[in-house]
Structure 1
């Protein structure tokens, strides 16, 4: 997994609004990239809604937010519309970006193992370097942790 000071991997992914979003689109600004396992599941919904509600605070601190999961654009559109999400959701269907950030991991549930997203986020500074990383975040505490760091 990437650490503070590392260069953020460049990426271009399809977004829920039909556009393509690249790391370079945020040059000169700070960006929170949060990786989550699956649209419209309890933990991911809590996390997304908390970020939605705190987006004005993040914006006032000069931070943009994007969510990344292996779900399709179509799934992202339904998730965005159902919960009025106000930031881009990016489709990393081949999980190449998750792998580049080091969050595509072996997981286990009910005795079976599988590959998936380890819920993590990265604050990327205006120069494209990792400013802060939060591995294995708890969905319900994520937005508050990031806000506390930003206001710190």
Structure 2
């Protein structure tokens, strides 16, 4: 399985978002897209990251950029997460894991000596031309939103 890299055309997605509406990357043609993958709704790191992107949503909008979060959580879980934290970003449900596979973020992880499969926290900046402009893998949440916003402003 190859991972999309900088310069590659971003693999298309067709997933339901919180609220149930279907979302495709092509819906945002001509805009930049921050596509970020995260392990699970309402866990500490994922909550901080979602709130961070929500707090910066206007700054991203000024840079003509849409933010899409992706996890394998259901629409119902996304709806609860959005309501609980008043999130202003779209959360896409990839329950089958197809998009996670295409972006190479479904990986073997280790915690407390156990090995399991899970979503690697990763962010893809997709340029207005539909090509991947930057990739962050194994993301650490502190400072990440600022780093992505800085990259968006330079793209």
Alignment TM class, shorter chain as reference: over 0.9
- Residue number in structure 2 paired with 1:86: 88
Q: Separation in 1 of the partners of 2:123 and 2:4?
A: 10
- 3-state SS in 2 of match to 1:123: strand
Q: Give the CA deviation at 1:73.
A: 0.4
CA distance in 2: counterparts of 1:149 and 1:11, whole angstroms: 22
Tell me, yes or no, if the aligned pair for 1:43 and 1:140 is still in contact at 8 Å: no
Structure 2 Cα separation of the partners of residues 150 and 23 of structure 1: 17
1:145 to partner: Cα distance:
0.9
Task: State the distance in 2 between where 1:55 and 1:138 align.
Answer: 19
Q: Distance between the aligned counterparts of 1:138 and 1:53, measured in 2?
A: 18
Alignment map for 1:26-105 (pairs within 5 Å): 26-105=28-107
Shift of 1:17: 1.5
Q: Report the TM-score when normalising by structure 1.
A: 0.97
Give the TM-score taking structure 2 as reference length. 0.95
Per the alignment, residue 110 of structure 2 pairs with: 108
Aligned-partner SS, 1:132 = strand
Q: Distance in 2 between matches of 1:14 and 1:25?
A: 13
SS at match of 1:89: strand
- What's the CA shift for 1:3? 1.4
> In the comparison of the two structures, how many residue pairs are matched?
152
How far apart are 1:125 and its partner, in Å? 1.1
**What's the C-alpha RMSD, in Å, of the aligned pairs?**
0.9
Residues 151 and 126 of structure 1: CA distance in aligned 2, closer, same or farther (over 3 Å)? closer
Deviations 1:85-133 (A, max 9, x none): 1011000011110110111100011111111110000011112110111
Moved segments of 4+, more than 3 Å: none
Between the aligned partners of 1:123 and 1:147, the Cα distance in structure 2 is 10
Deviation at 1:141, TM superposition (A): 2.1
How far residue 140 of structure 1 moved from its aligned partner, in angstroms, is 2.2
**Shift in Å at residue 74 of structure 1?**
0.4
Partner of 2:129: 127
